[in-house]
Structure 1
Amino acid sequence: MLTLVLIVSMTSYLINAGADQTRAASAPVSTPTASPSPSPRFDPDAGAALPQNRVVAFYAVPGASVTGPAHELTDAMLTRLKQQAAVYQQLDPAHPVLAGIDLVVSVPDRRPGPAGTYSHRVDAATINTYVEFCRKHNLLLFLDLNFGWSDPVAELNFFRPYLKLPFVHVAVDPEWMFPRHNGVPGVNLSNVRASDLNPLISAVAQMPAEYQVPRKIFMIHQYRPDGDDLANPYNPGAAIIADKKNLLNDSRVDLVIHVDSVGGWPGDIEVKTEQYTKWVAQGMQRFQNFKYGGFKIFYQLESKHKLMTPEQVMALQPAPMVITYGY
């Protein structure tokens, strides 16, 4: 907006007492001056994946063929991903589908390793290959952190350079997370608390303003029940998230509770549907600290009995906004 400042300077008439001629100086022409234009206000809603869109992603640990279809980057994988996304697009045209990859970059281990963290990181060259693949093909990329004994915030910060990119988001899997060093991934069951997850949620919530990128998704995989109604919510055998009610509610990040339990036997669809109802739908209503549900299908493991169809996934209430496929 231009602010016009009119400056009028008038010279005095000088009259010579003995002369009949006056000299008058005319006023100078006013010149508008422009104040600096304010910078456009940053809007993290602009370009945010949720809630306008739905996400369909392929899961994988790089190079591990048993984990999911995105274990290697091929034209065939990309075609299959786009075809799967198109099915959901057809079922709900009101929500354009964004295809993506859920990539485990912090991998849990049964051995402590050199750092003593019971985890290792995927090498930078491999991650960069996935980043460029997603950039080229307009895919979202979830950096999936499994932690082991690693300090959660330090692990997130290690991958922070990638999170400056607008299409990169975060997923965490508490099943492999032992912040109190009280178990071994793949050997013991884990139990995490909101206080373990909230610093991560808060850090990701600050990233849009910090990096001037759209609001990010923070996806929490849930494999086993909540502990909110248990006498001992910290029992790993009974609950994976001790106190979901205490998860941070921050509007600057899109928190997704993602059901990723595994079927593959008669009655599994009914069980997974009930889990979604309890862990997502009821939790959403009770705690009011997350707005979106997610759901995972395992192509190979669950097809041993009967693979849940996209129509059945979309019949879940509320319909999942992030749907992933593994093996």
Structure 2
Amino acid sequence: MKKYLPIILTVSLMLGACSSQTATKEKEKEETSSEQKSSVEKEKQKAPEKEQQPEEPEQPYKPLEPTEGAVSLKETLTKESQTQPVQEGQKEQPERKVPFGETLSTEMEDLSDGPLKDHRLVTYYGTPASKHMGILGQLEPEEYIKKLKEQAQVYSDLDPERPAVPTIELITTMAQSAPGPDGDYVQMTSEENIETYVKLAEKHDALVLLDIQLGTDTVMNQVKMVEKWLKHPNVHLAIDTEFHVAQGEKPGEDLGEVDGRDIQEAVEYISDLAEKNNLPDKLVLVHQFTGPVLFNKDAIEPTENVEVAINFDGWGAAADKQALYRRYIRDEPAQYGAFKIFYEKDVPVLTPEEVLKMDPSPAVINYQ
């Protein structure tokens, strides 16, 4: 029996070693499994965080789809007729800086999902407090929105690739010749009126531009005055530069001016407002009818949440208006251009076809 003892001991040691290795492997498996479970648990913990990320807000408007059989103006015009006619003093037809039909200015980009990226806005301007400040004050709300849609439909039919969105441009703070109780030469439209037109837009899948005229007040103070409405998904901002006067001056008597840096402060403020409140991207429309009313213009820049359009809104001879549009919009490009038409003051009133032929094609057309 003794001669087998070494063999038995050897086998026993080998079995012990195998058992130890097996135990070690089992332990390693358990640790690996434990680590994997821990990793899975961590991923599960992360998952709810991802679910909590806000979804992209839905667009609060519906563009007017082209009527059946509508043919794009681009297809009906020859290359030569896709630009404006030669004006007095010009030797030849100017070359386009922006291809016909496009609204984004030269070397500009739009990083937002704002309404101008794929659509055109057609607005009716005014206030229910006055019949002399635009068509909005001349019609009852439902009749007004009906006519606005009819006008916008014309643009959808002429440019089916960029259907138009009916937009209410409501004067929210109207410049006055008297200082008023606050001494700022501005009278604010009643909250009831603002609510009426915001709800009218919601009912008809339209947008709203709240127009501020400033008086002796600041841009930012007036932006904050209308902030609660800017938190509505369908409400945007317009700034009338000509009515911003210095202390001792009167709107309408003295030509006002706005610093582009002040407008940029408002753009960034609204951009933050949209981001923090998970709102659809916004538009800031800046009115300009002559050079002096808007200085430091190059300080105005869009953001990822806010589009910017400069609106030429002078009235008078059509040829002069077209020339000034080229000067202030084409030759001093912001992100988008816009153009204002006065039904009762322009001579003649430009047709939608003539408006769309401008360089760049206006992204916003407003009627007063």
For normalisation by structure 1, the TM-score amounts to 0.78
Q: Distance in 2 between matches of 1:105 and 1:77?
A: 17
Q: Distance in 2 between matches of 1:213 and 1:192?
A: 27
Amino acid at match of 2:287: H
Point out which structure has higher relative CO (alpha carbons under 8 A, 6+ apart): 2
Q: Distance in 1 between matches of 2:267 and 2:55?
A: 21
Contact 1:42 1:209 in 2 (8 A): no
Mapping 1:145-156, distance limit 5 Å: 145-156=212-223
SS at 1:110's partner residue?
coil
In the alignment, structure 1 residue 281 sits paired with structure 2 residue 330 = yes
Q: Distance in 2 between matches of 1:295 and 1:97?
A: 14
Mapping 1:94-173, distance limit 5 Å: 94-173=161-240
Contact 1:46 1:214 in 2 (8 A): no
C-alpha deviation, 1:70, in angstroms: 1.5
In the alignment, structure 1 residue 254 sits paired with structure 2 residue 320 = no
Aligned length: 275
Q: Distance in 2 between matches of 1:46 and 1:276?
A: 25
C-alpha deviation, 1:182, in angstroms: 5.0
Q: Distance in 1 between matches of 2:217 and 2:303?
A: 25
SS at 2:117's partner residue?
coil
Cα offsets for 1:15-64 (capped at 9, x unmatched): xxxxxxxxxxxx99x89753333034665778631211110010002231
Aligned match of 1:15: none
In the alignment, structure 1 residue 212 sits paired with structure 2 residue 278 = yes
Amino acid at match of 2:293: I
- CA RMSD in angstroms, aligned pairs only: 2.2
Name which of 108, 114, 118 aligns with 1:52: 118
The answer for unaligned runs of 5 or more in structure 2 is 1-29, 58-110
Amino acid at match of 1:255: V
For normalisation by structure 2, the TM-score amounts to 0.70
Identity %: 27
Q: Distance in 1 between matches of 2:257 and 2:236?
A: 24
Amino acid at match of 2:307: D
Contact 2:114 2:306 in 1 (8 A): no
CA gap of 1:108–1:213, structure 2 versus 1, over 3 A, is same
Q: Distance in 1 between matches of 2:53 and 2:321?
A: 46
SS at 1:115's partner residue?
coil
Q: Distance in 2 between matches of 1:204 and 1:276?
A: 27
The answer for unaligned runs of 5 or more in structure 1 is 1-26, 226-238, 285-289
C-alpha deviation, 1:246, in angstroms: 2.6
In the alignment, structure 1 residue 311 sits paired with structure 2 residue 353 = yes
Cα offsets for 1:217-268 (capped at 9, x unmatched): 000001112xxxxxxxxxxxxx1112212324534310100010011xxxx1
Name which of 222, 241, 245 aligns with 1:174: 241
